[in-house]
C-alpha cells in the first residue's frame, strides 16, 4: 500500500513523512476515524515508510523491505486483527494470516464484515483475545530481523477484551526501544482511557472513493428500509416475514449496519420536521423518501429509536436475529400507525 494510493488526508501523509525524516517517531500511535475511513491502509503505508531502507522520507517501493511490506511478509511487521470465537485451537491472528494477507492485498480498504465473511462465520462477533497478547509478547521480545524497527499494526483495536487491553497497556507503559505500535480503530471511545492517554492520536477523514462506496451501501440499506417501513405500516405479516428472512440472512455485521442506518433515517425525519439543515442524506433518493416518510415519525420517535437501539444491543449479544427483527417490526408497525397528537 502506497500513500499516493490513498486520497485526501494530506496532513496525515505529511506528518508520517516528517516523522521518518526527523527520526522522531512516537512508539505508539492511534490512527482513528469514523467507519469507512482508511485507517488500515494508512497504517500499512506508514509501516512501509518506516521500514524502507533507501529513503529518509517516503518509501522507495523497490527495496527488499518495501517489497516484503507490500506482500505482507516482512519479518519485522506484525499484524493483530479480530478473529472469531468458533475455534479454540485457532485463537490468534497468526492462524488466519494467509486469509488476511490475501484479503488485504486484494482490497486494502477491507471492511470488518467482509473479513468475517471471508473466515467463514458472519454471524459471530470478532474479538482480540488475551492469547493474542501472549503471542505478541514473544514476537516483540526478539531483536529486529533487520537493524531497524519492529512494527505492530492493530486493526480494530476496540475488539480487544479487558484482559487483552491490560496486556497492551503494559506494552505501552514499558515500551521496547525498537518497537512501534500503530493502533487503529473506528471506535476510539471503546478503548480504555489509560490506553488512549498513552497514544499519539491521529484522526482520519473520509475520501471521495470511500464516500462513493458508502453511498452504494446506503442505497442497499435504503431499499431494505423502504420495504420494512411500508410493510410495517400496512401490517402485512407476509411481507414482514419475507423481510425478516432477508435481513436475517445478511449476517450480524450487516444487520448492525442496517439498524444504525435506520436510526439515522429516523433522526433525519425528526430533523426535517424541525426544519434543520443538518439532515443525514447521502443521495437525492434518500432525501425524497425522508420527506414522504417524516409525517409518520412524530410523537412516537423516542419509542422507535429506543426499540431499534435495543435490537442493536441484543444482536451484538448474539440474540436470535429472526426473533429480534420480528419483534422490532411489530413494535415499529404499532408506532407508525399511531396518529399524530397535536
Q: Which residues of the chain fall below pLDDT 50? A: 210, 278, 281, 341-342
Neighbour-count burial of 143, counting CB atoms closer than 10 A to its CB (0-12 exposed, 13-18 middle, 19+ buried):
exposed
Average pLDDT taken over every residue of the chain: 85
Predicted local distance difference test score (pLDDT) of residue 30: 94
Q: What span, in angstroms and rounded, lies between the C-alpha atoms of 148 and 86?
A: 37
Considering only CA atoms, which of 5, 179, 201 is closest in space to residue 109? 5
Q: Comparing C-alpha atoms, which of 229, 209, 211 is closest to residue 221?
A: 229
- All domains in the chain, ordered by first residue: 3-206 (3.40.50.300), 210-336 (no CATH)
User: Which pLDDT belongs to residue 207?
Assistant: 59
pLDDT value at residue 99 = 94
Q: What pLDDT score does 276 carry?
A: 55
Amino acid at each position: 500500500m502506497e500513500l499516493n494510493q490513498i486520497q485526501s488526508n494530506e496532513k496525515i501523509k505529511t506528518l508520517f513523512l516528517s516523522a521518518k525524516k526527523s527520526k522522531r517517531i512516537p512508539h505508539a500511535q492511534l490512527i482513528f476515524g469514523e467507519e469507512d475511513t482508511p485507517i488500515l491502509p494508512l497504517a500499512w503505508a506508514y509501516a512501509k515508510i518506516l521500514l524502507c531502507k533507501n529513503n529518509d522520507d517516503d518509501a522507495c517501493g523497490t527495496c527488499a523491505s518495501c517489497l516484503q511490506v507490500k506482500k505482507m511478509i516482512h519479518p519485522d511487521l506484525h499484524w493483530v486483527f479480530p478473529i472469531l470465537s468458533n475455534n479454540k485451537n485457532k485463537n490468534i491472528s497468526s492462524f488466519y494470516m494467509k486469509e488476511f494477507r490475501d484479503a488485504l492485498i486484494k482490497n486494502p480498504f477491507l471492511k470488518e464484515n467482509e473479513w468475517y465473511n471471508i473466515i467463514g462465520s458472519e454471524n459471530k462477533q470478532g474479538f482480540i483475545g488475551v492469547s493474542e497478547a501472549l503471542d505478541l509478547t514473544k514476537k516483540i521480545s526478539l531483536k529486529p530481523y533487520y537493524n531497524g524497527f519492529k512494527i505492530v499494526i492493530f486493526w480494530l483495536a476496540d475488539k480487544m477484551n479487558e484482559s487483552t487491553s491490560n496486556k497492551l497497556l503494559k506494552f505501552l507503559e514499558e515500551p521496547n526501544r525498537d518497537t512501534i505500535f500503530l493502533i487503529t480503530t473506528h471506535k476510539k471511545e471503546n478503548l480504555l482511557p489509560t490506553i488512549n492517554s498513552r497514544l499519539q492520536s491521529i484522526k482520519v477523514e473520509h475520501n471521495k472513493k470511500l464516500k462513493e462506496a458508502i453511498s452504494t451501501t446506503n442505497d442497499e440499506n435504503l431499499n431494505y428500509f423502504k420495504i420494512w417501513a411500508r410493510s410495517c405500516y400496512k401490517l402485512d405479516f407476509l411481507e414482514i416475514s419475507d423481510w425478516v428472512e432477508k435481513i436475517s440472512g445478511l449476517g450480524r455485521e450487516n444487520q448492525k449496519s442496517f439498524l444504525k442506518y435506520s436510526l439515522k433515517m429516523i433522526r433525519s425525519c425528526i430533523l426535517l420536521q424541525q426544519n434543520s439543515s443538518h439532515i443525514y442524506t447521502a443521495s437525492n433518493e434518500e432525501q425524497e423518501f425522508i420527506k414522504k416518510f417524516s409525517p409518520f415519525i412524530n410523537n412516537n420517535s423516542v419509542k422507535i429509536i429506543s426499540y431499534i437501539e435495543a435490537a442493536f444491543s441484543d444482536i451484538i449479544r448474539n440474540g436470535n436475529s429472526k426473533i429480534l427483527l420480528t419483534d422490532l417490526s411489530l413494535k415499529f408497525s404499532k408506532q407508525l400507525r399511531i396518529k399524530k397528537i397535536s
